[in-house]
Chains A and B, each alone.
Chain A
Amino acid sequence: MTFQRTLVDKNEVIMESAYESVHQATTGKYAIQMIFNGSAAYTIANRELNLYSGNFIFLNQDTSYSRKIDSPVKVDSMSVLFDPDFVLDFEYARSAKAELLLDEPQSYERKIPLFVEAIYPLEGDMKFNLLHLKNHLDQGSNDNLLLNTYLEHCLLNYYALYDAEVTHREASLKFLSHTTKSEILRRLSVARDYIISNYNKNICLEEIARIACLSVNHFLRTFKQAYHQSPHQFLTSIRLRQAKYFLRNTDYPVNEIVDIVGFECPSSFIRLFRNSFQVTPGQYR
């Protein structure tokens, strides 16, 4: 097992490679946690989640969680821990007008932000920036300006993603009350995380709706309002995305990948893959 902890002012970046490890923590810091290969099992409050490569999870500063890695392949992970003061300063700089920032830099109300904790795909600018950050740390960089700039941009990318995935989706729900919208989206997010965590298993709609504490009909209707696709379409997209990961990063035969990602038959997998990405799995590889 290798473990590297880098302090960037009051923030931290922790990189770990391990076949087996157990962590129990309340860090007091906001966390972006990601897996580069393999998977890790998380227990967050009463939720059991699996984090697979190609995804990251965001945790609030007061969340206590445990993480367990038990894998036949070495799992490389990275945790970026943001001090609450860093997040507060970032949020103030992002939302306050320039004149206020110059005249009254300390005037803001210090209200600790609370985010909807969820699993997100590691893609776009967030992926590029986190991989760059990892490379700099792998090379032993201790350039404070550079590392701080990367952390700031990771937060910038996260806020953009949060706006798209939570704020806008919340707004698209057809309820009058803002509180109802927030609560429904929180429950849908729990369901979404459950689907992502169990994408390779046979999961049924009733079970997902139960996890979300919604009736099946209510769950189906609100899920489609928020994510513009059915839970089944969402599950299929997750399976196809993970299949792409295995095609790109392993030499497993296609039939084996079909099994790993939870499809029942290779021909339907190939058809879905071609319809989604306009290439066959073989051509993609």
Chain B
Amino acid sequence: MMADKLNYQVLFVKDTVLPAVFFIEELGLEMEEDLLVGGKMCPVLRMFNGHRLMLVKHEEKDPEVIVIYTQDCLRDFCNLKRQGFQMVSAPVYGKKGLTCEFYDPWGNLTLLLEERDYKDA
């Protein structure tokens, strides 16, 4: 596994419940824990490779860019497309693997990355 297990991303959202459901149901993240930060409960979601995404409630927030690691970019691309999500790009191959971009329901630009180790493949 190439990913650093301590990698942490923070996403500011107006409400934490619906985004958490979205990331769990559509992109396969798992609920790890709720952390109390500044008096607010913040869900911490875990990606398959150990990376974490923490959702922090914030009333005034601008759209952000986040990276979600996936085990199967084409599968997720098809699922999102079928559900009518706005895909910014078709899946493209790069040095790190296969990626595609889409806007989540709250306007955040999400980069889906399937890391591929080309050294031994």
Contact = CB atoms under 8 A, between A and B. Distances in A.
Interface of B is mostly: mixed
Given A124-B118, A124-B121, A143 B78 contact: yes
B118 A149 contact: no
Interface string B83-121: 000000001010000100000000000000010101001
Interface of A is mostly: helix
A124 to B, nearest CB: 6
B121 A123 contact: yes
A218 interface: no
A129 B91 CA distance: 12
Contacts of B118: 123-124
A129 B78 CA distance: 14
Given A125-B116, A127-B121, A128-B116, A153 B78 contact: no
B93 A149 contact: no
B92 to A, nearest CB: 10
B93 A146 contact: no
A125 B91 CA distance: 12
A132 B70 CA distance: 13
Contact of A125 (B75, B78, B82, B98): B98
Contacts of A136: 75
A86 interface: no
A145 interface: yes
Contacts of B5: none
A150 B76 CA distance: 12
Contact of B77 (A124, A129, A143, A149): A149
A118 B118 CA distance: 22
Contacts of B91: 153
Contacts of B98: 125, 128
A146 B72 CA distance: 11
Given A123-B121, A128-B121, A149 B74 contact: yes
A127 B97 CA distance: 12
Nearest to A125: B93
B81 interface: yes
Given A125-B93, A153-B91, A145 B78 contact: yes
Interface in B32-80: 72, 74-75, 77-78
A132 B74 contact: yes
Contacts of A123: 118, 121
A27 to B, nearest CB: 25
A9 to B, nearest CB: 15
A146 B81 CA distance: 10
Contacts of A143: 78
A125 B72 CA distance: 12
Contacts of B81: 145
A146 B75 contact: yes
Contacts of A124: 118, 121
Contacts of B121: 123-124, 127-128
A145 B82 contact: yes
Contacts of A153: 74, 91
Given A127-B121, A128-B121, A150 B74 contact: yes
13 contacts: A124-B121, A125-B93, A127-B121, A128-B98, A128-B121, A132-B72, A132-B74, A132-B75, A136-B75, A145-B78, A145-B81, A146-B75, A153-B74
Interface of B: 72, 74-75, 77-78, 81-82, 91, 93, 98, 114, 116, 118, 121
Given A129-B74, A145-B81, 9 more contacts: A124-B118, A125-B93, A125-B116, A128-B98, A132-B74, A136-B75, A143-B78, A149-B74, A153-B91
- Pairs A-B, 9 closest by C-beta atoms: A146-B78, A145-B78, A149-B74, A127-B121, A128-B116, A123-B121, A149-B78, A125-B93, A132-B72
